[in-house]
Amino acid sequence: MVAKGDVVTVDLQVKDVKTGKPFDSTFDQGQVRFVVGAGGFLPAIHKAVEKMQVGEAKELQLSGDDAYGDADEALIATLPLDQAPPNLQRGQVLRLWTGQKARVTDVTADAFTLDMNRLNAGAVLSVALRVLDAAPPSTLETADFAAGCFWGLELAFQRAPGVVSTKVGYTQGAKKDPTYTEVCAGTTGHAEAVRVLFDPAQTTFDALLDVFWGRHDPTQLNGQGNDLGTQYRGGVYYHSEAQKAAIEESRAREQAKHDKPIVTEVLPAATFWDAEDYHQQYLEKGGQIAKKAASETIRCYG
């Protein structure tokens, strides 16, 4: 029987009930692997898999809070076309002055319609799943990384082949169970970080280090881009002596690419405090693609 925390392999197929066509989700379909209860897929899918037997199949219909939430008619507006930017097209995503994003759902000769609901709001999904395999999490290894805002870093690792689970949180600080507000105040000593569970039979720690170095400027101290503060510092935190050696070797290779010294910290892994649920898989929930090997640009703020 599948239990929370198990690593499962599932055949997963999702359709849009309204159209009968395959649903183009932000997550992978087909044969997928994930840690039950650890995110990356709709929570209702995790809940459905728990307590199933290997070989068992199940079909679900998900809507509302079990899917992507209900659509709010108050967030759909039709406006005169003369208020639109030039060359407006159906399907285009606009960023409003409030910072909110809206999709153009219709354009006529004299008007256009904006939908400000979250992506896929109101979708009704038909989910067919079959559990192909289940194993304890001892088959996986753990790695911890910090590289500025944890939203974009997590999505980069979600896309990495061999990564089975990711979560964002706070590490290397003094306060127990800190909140996001406390960490952002810069008083707890924590860094925003991502904990990665990966299958060493499918990827290597060196491959994850390549993702890490590619996601931040290792010469910037206590910040990344416009995100400034000790909570945004770069760091990689080893769980074994083998990881430490791999980090030191990759850091030396990375230093050869830079004129300035690398300031990314290398320390033993410390207590990892999970961030609030709101932050987990934040960019995927917002509609960015988390599928393996996806190459779309990762946008942290819009």
C-alpha 274/C-alpha 285 separation (Å) is 17
User: What's this model's pTM, rounded to 2 decimal places?
Assistant: 0.89
Per-residue pLDDT of 34-54, as tens digits, reads 999 999 999 999 999 999 999
Per-residue pLDDT of 190-212, as tens digits, reads 999 999 999 999 999 999 999 99
Share of the chain above pLDDT 90, in %: 88
Using the predicted structure, report yes or no on whether residue 119 has a pLDDT greater than 90.
no
Per-residue pLDDT of 6-33, as tens digits, reads 999 999 999 999 999 999 999 999 999 9
What mean pLDDT do residues 167-175 have? 97
What are the catalytic residues? Answer: 149
Share of the chain above pLDDT 70, in %: 99
Query: What pLDDT score does 301 carry?
Result: 64
Q: What is the DSSP string of 236-302?
A: EEESSHHHHHHHHHHHHHHHTT-SSPP--EEEE---EEEPPGGGTTHHHHTT---STT--SPP-S--
What mean pLDDT do residues 247-251 have? 97
Query: What pLDDT score does 95 carry?
Result: 79
For residue 194, which of 230, 229, 149, 225 has the smallest C-alpha distance?
149
What mean pLDDT do residues 277-288 have? 90
Per-residue pLDDT of 59-116, as tens digits, reads 999 999 999 999 999 999 999 999 998 999 998 888 777 767 788 999 999 999 999 9
Query: What pLDDT score does 286 carry?
Result: 82
For residue 157, which of 40, 29, 302 has the smallest C-alpha distance?
40
Question: What domains lie within the chain, and their CATH numbers?
Answer: 7-63+126-135 (no CATH), 73-115 (2.40.10), 140-285 (3.30.1060.10)
